[in-house]
Amino acid sequence: MLLTIQPEELTEHWYEVFEKIEWTELLLFLFYVTCIFLVRAVVLAISRRLSKKRMFRHVDSILRSLLNWATTYGILLFMIFYFSDSDWMFDRLFEFGNVEITAFLLILVILIVSLANRGAKIITRYILPNVYQRYHLDRGVSYTFDRMFHYTVMAIAILVSLTTVGLDLSALTVFAGVLGVGIGFGLQNIASNFISGIILLFERPIKVGDRVIIDDLIGDVDKISLRSTVIKTIHNEHVIVPNSYFLEEQVINRSYGDPRMRLVVPVGVAYGTDAEKIKRVLLQAAQEEHQEGGVVLLDPEPFVNFSAFGESSLDFELMVWIANSNQVITTKSALNFRINRLFAEQNIEIPFPQRDLHIKSMPEIAGE
């Protein structure tokens, strides 16, 4: 067993530790901490007033972040120095393996891990984006580097904190065995999603910013974590999908490799309409849309497909290539508006379904 103190002995030991605490000193420390929070509240109130002015618009957010940083780590460091002469700070709370865990070691571990976490976030938010911009890395590659950098820093911080307290890492093999049994019996899905998340970050069949289709659900990949992926739909809804789904099921990725996409706009005209005229008008619509927005491409060239002789119409399809698959809906709507206007100018009729009804004369009823 890693914990060498029995529950009864542990309770009695902690009672002895509590007896060593100088409560006057502790109350004075709490008073100082309260004063720190009061000063923080006053400074934040002043910054909120200043942020209402245009020239100090960003002061509140910046100052709030700095105060949170200073308050958290200031209190931890102040606690270490303030109680540096107190016996209870360095008295054993419990034993983990052959290491005596004290309050000082616990505070030190929290300090190291939290500083590493905050430092990794600052680097990924303010420093690495400049590197990505310099080397023209896309959003998906940048996100992958950010995640792997954060996980690496946190793993190193945890190892350093455990080493700092003198913990023998070989003692963690017991937990590794328990974890393996847990995965074998009840954590298969969690382990599968975890491994799938690592594969997605490295292999990148999908990446942040890709437009994907999952079971008729269209959305953009917003975030890839180690367990799940967040999809933001075109209706601004967020769908959380397990990572294993992307490796086990069929997923359409419109942004994979080439962002270009072919768009098909079906249209029907009345029988008797000149088919060559319809072709010219549809190609004119594609040409005008290219000149206005640039999303419709002229290379490959637009193509008009005479698809079928329908029940009530001649069916055509305008096939164009667009530069960005994320603009499928807006481009198709713009082409429909343009085609409808051009048809009205050229007096081209868009038919509605028609049916011919033939009535046969009824035979005379016998005896009438």
DSSP 241-252: EEHHHHHHS--E
Task: Write down the pLDDT at residue 366.
Answer: 54
What pLDDT is stored for residue 227 in this prediction? 82
CA 63 to CA 16: how far, in whole Å? 43
Torsion angles phi and psi, residue 362, rounded to 5: -80, 135
Strands (E), 86-245: 92-96, 99-102, 211-214, 217-224, 228-233, 238-242
- At 1, the pLDDT band (50, 70, 90 cuts) reads very low
Q: Give the separation between CA 147 and CA 143, rounded to whole angstroms.
A: 6
Q: Which residues pair with 296 in a beta bridge?
A: 322
- Average pLDDT rounded to a whole number, residues 176-188: 62
Q: How many CB atoms lie within 10 A of CB 267?
A: 23
Task: Tell how strand 261-269 and strand 252-253 pair up.
Answer: unpaired
Would you say the CATH fold of 261-346 matches that of 174-257?
Answer: no
CA separation for the pair 156, 162 (Å, rounded): 10
How many residues can be counted in the chain? Answer: 368
The pair of three-digit structure tokens given for residue 266, joined into one six-digit string: 């079906």
- Angle at which helix 188-203 crosses helix 139-164, to 10 degrees, equals 120
**CB neighbours of 285 closer than 8 A, spacing ≥ 6?**
318, 335, 338, 339, 342
Alpha-carbon radius of gyration of the chain:
34
Pairwise CA distance, residues 226 & 165, whole Å? 28
Residues 6+ apart with CB under 8 A from 182: none
pLDDT digits (tens, 9 = 90+) for 68-127: 777 877 888 888 787 777 776 777 766 666 667 777 888 888 888 888 888 888 888 888
pLDDT bin (cut points 50, 70, 90) of residue 182 is low
Q: Give the neighbor-by-neighbor strand order of the sheet with 228-233.
A: 238-242, 228-233, 217-224, 211-214, 252-253
For residues 121 and 113, give the distance between their C-alpha atoms in angstroms, rounded to a whole number. Answer: 12
The CATH number assigned to the domain with range 261-346 reads: 3.30.70.100
Nearest CA among 252, 221, 215 for reference residue 238? 221
% pLDDT > 90, the chain:
18
Integer CA distances (angstroms), 54 to 43, 45, 64, 146, in order: 19, 17, 18, 33
- What are the residue ranges spanned by the domains of the chain? 16-173, 174-257, 261-346
Domain topology for 174-257? SH3 type barrels. (2.30.30)
DSSP tag of 257: S
pLDDT at 4: 46
Residue 126 identity (one-letter amino acid): Y
Model pLDDT, residue 20: 57
How is the chain split among helix, strand and coil, in percent rounded to 5?
A: 55, 15, 25
pLDDT at 336 over 90: yes
pLDDT band at 2 (very low <50, low <70, confident <90, very high): very low
Residue 236, φ and ψ in degrees, nearest 5 = 65, 30
Q: What is the phi/psi pair of residue 352, to 5°?
A: -115, 160
Most confident of 49-53, 76-80, 305-309: 305-309
Section 338-353 average pLDDT: 89
- Mean pLDDT, to the nearest integer, of 45-60? 67
Query: What pLDDT is stored for residue 344 in this prediction?
Result: 92
Q: pLDDT: is 13 or 188 the higher one?
A: 188
